[in-house]
Structure 1
């Protein structure tokens, strides 16, 4: 799925555009209407959840997932924002890998590497490396949510979704963790809709047939239709070039090797956490950009006939993105993917140098 596909931001028909406008009006009313106002904390979460993305793209995910039913999409979106707040996604991202179990990351049970032939990031799941009960459930759930969020940062326009490879080589019943799988499916279908493009289950042994019989009814039919069983890697090569696959899948990439935070990474993290004033300024700038975006979006959604309204909305969308970028060092951290070169966010180094210079003055 890409921004140019039907129902996506660059390819909306009139009914779809009207649905998007209706969604915005419903959401803005819930933010600003004193009688139906949502918790102010949820308002903050909305634009933190949008991150670098155009907020229209975020709302369109829920509209597509609910087949353009505005009420259904709105309710699911609000449920997602509440979940992010109550579960602690913001806190997890602010602590980053320091809040994860390093030993669990190092198992290589789930990681990103390369992209498929249409440019979608690839998430590799090595099922044999997940042993039920080896790590606390909370630890595994944190790693799963963190991986979901990393996938969003690895997306590059026009792609909006990721490809997942489930490598079943060496699978045994000790690897079959139904509670965690239910958690993963619930995340995908409810809190990260339209983020899953294709799934390949490769080298599945016969013993997995019984497991799949149990799992299949949990899947939305649309999600299930995206999953393919592959026993011949040549079939996988139709979708993914071998140069993007790790050696364990007959590719040419070095197998996953976790790069832990460096001393400099930890110094930077501590610096950002202690820069209270810098965070307050960045948060206020981001909040004002979000309010300005909502003001313009409300006029646009209501059909106000104002000269250059589309251009003005494009401008404030960029301002919102720029404001989030300035906030990023205070609400996110560098990760393995920054250290490996897969994610480029120079704002971390720029902000760190600015803080150092300010301290000298």
Structure 2
């Protein structure tokens, strides 16, 4: 049904899409993939599941400021996303078929979220996880992200683009969390976002895969998620690779590196698009390839 809906109920196109996914799953084996980048360098990716929304959909959270690197390739991004998506699917109740992504742009840099990278990851979503991205809530977006979003949006079906909500400003972000998530998760997200805006990050936020020793906020996820999925491991749900390593006592110390800051202050309460967007040059290496096709998720 998801494949039919993704192709506007065209049976031939839906069949082609489904056959492509079957072949991809045979060769890529997403249900077995692991993120070697995170194992080799803890915190390489910050994307992780942190709870569920009011509809029971898994909620994923990603913050650029927490990552220990600031440049990604399509290969490592797709691997970590596939790992996380498969994990989210494993935590879904029988009547749930999609997930929600909260994208925290604090600390974002162009190499970490370029149009080319975004398009590559979006292709995987569209081709092999159609209709499973329920909503994206992008908070603290800056002028750099707005430029990237404009580039990617041009290739998205209007229905797909409508799933993205951009929210900026402490009050508006807090209101959005309260609107879309249950109280426990809303409170967790609000605290997580506020802590991730601090410079420098406090240790418990830098090492987000660790259970905090002093600070009351647990960056691994909201209390009910931690209790059900981290304290009591479930066979069909794979948590963030570094949380796995930490729980098994085999993680090494993460290395702090220089982070390239985005050329715009994301603390602005203005939810409109910044005039700075047009002044930010995007190098060819970060651009979406010419001849790229439209994407429907």
TM range, smaller chain: 0.5 to 0.7
Counterpart Cα distance in 2 of 1:156 and 1:121: 10
Distance 1:205 1:155, change over 3 A: same
Counterpart Cα distance in 2 of 1:197 and 1:67: 17
Residue correspondence of structure 1 range 117-136 to structure 2 within 5 A: 117-129=54-66, 131-133=69-71
Counterpart Cα distance in 1 of 2:143 and 2:232: 36
State how many pairs are aligned.
Answer: 205
Candidates 182, 190, 196, aligned match of 2:133: 196
Counterpart Cα distance in 2 of 1:169 and 1:220: 27
Shift of 1:70: 1.5
Counterpart Cα distance in 1 of 2:151 and 2:6: 24
Counterpart Cα distance in 2 of 1:190 and 1:75: 10
- Which residue of structure 1 lines up, in the alignment, with residue 192 of structure 2? 248
**Structure with the greater relative contact order (CA < 8 A, sep ≥ 6): 1 or 2?**
2
Counterpart Cα distance in 2 of 1:338 and 1:84: 29
Counterpart Cα distance in 1 of 2:231 and 2:123: 31
Structure 2 gaps, min length 5: 196-203, 212-225, 237-297
Question: Highest CA radius of gyration, 1 or 2?
Answer: 1
Preserved CA contact (<8 Å) 1:117 1:240: yes
Structure 1 gaps, min length 5: 1-59, 261-335, 347-361
Preserved CA contact (<8 Å) 2:56 2:96: yes
- Which residue of structure 2 lines up, in the alignment, with residue 236 of structure 1? 177
| 2:16 is equivalent to residue 79 of structure 1 | no
Preserved CA contact (<8 Å) 1:230 1:236: no
Structure 1 stretch 76-85 or stretch 175-184: which is displaced more? 175-184
Counterpart Cα distance in 2 of 1:259 and 1:63: 42
Cα root mean square deviation, aligned: 3.1
Shift of 1:173: 3.0
Q: Structure 1 or 2: larger helix share?
A: 1
Q: Secondary structure at the match of 2:180?
A: coil
**Residue-by-residue CA offset, 1:218-270 (whole Å, 9 max, x unaligned):** 2222111111111222222100134213432359xx9683369xxxxxxxxxx
Shift of 1:124: 0.6
Preserved CA contact (<8 Å) 1:132 1:177: no
Distance 1:242 1:152, change over 3 A: same
Residue correspondence of structure 1 range 127-146 to structure 2 within 5 A: 127-129=64-66, 131-133=69-71, 137-146=74-83
TM-score (norm 2): 0.60
Residue correspondence of structure 1 range 35-50 to structure 2 within 5 A: none
Counterpart Cα distance in 2 of 1:188 and 1:176: 16
TM-score (norm 1): 0.50
Distance 1:250 1:202, change over 3 A: same
Residue correspondence of structure 1 range 1-361 to structure 2 within 5 A: 60-89=1-30, 91-92=32-33, 96=34, 99=36, 101-103=38-40, 106-107=43-44, 109-129=46-66, 131-133=69-71, 137-231=74-168, 232=172, 233-244=174-185, 245-246=188-189, 247-249=191-193, 257-258=208-209, 340-341=230-231, 344-345=234-235
Preserved CA contact (<8 Å) 2:137 2:164: yes
Q: Secondary structure at the match of 1:165?
A: strand
Counterpart Cα distance in 1 of 2:99 and 2:31: 22
Counterpart Cα distance in 1 of 2:227 and 2:124: 22
**Residue-by-residue CA offset, 1:171-219 (whole Å, 9 max, x unaligned):** 2334333332122100111110010111111111233222222121122
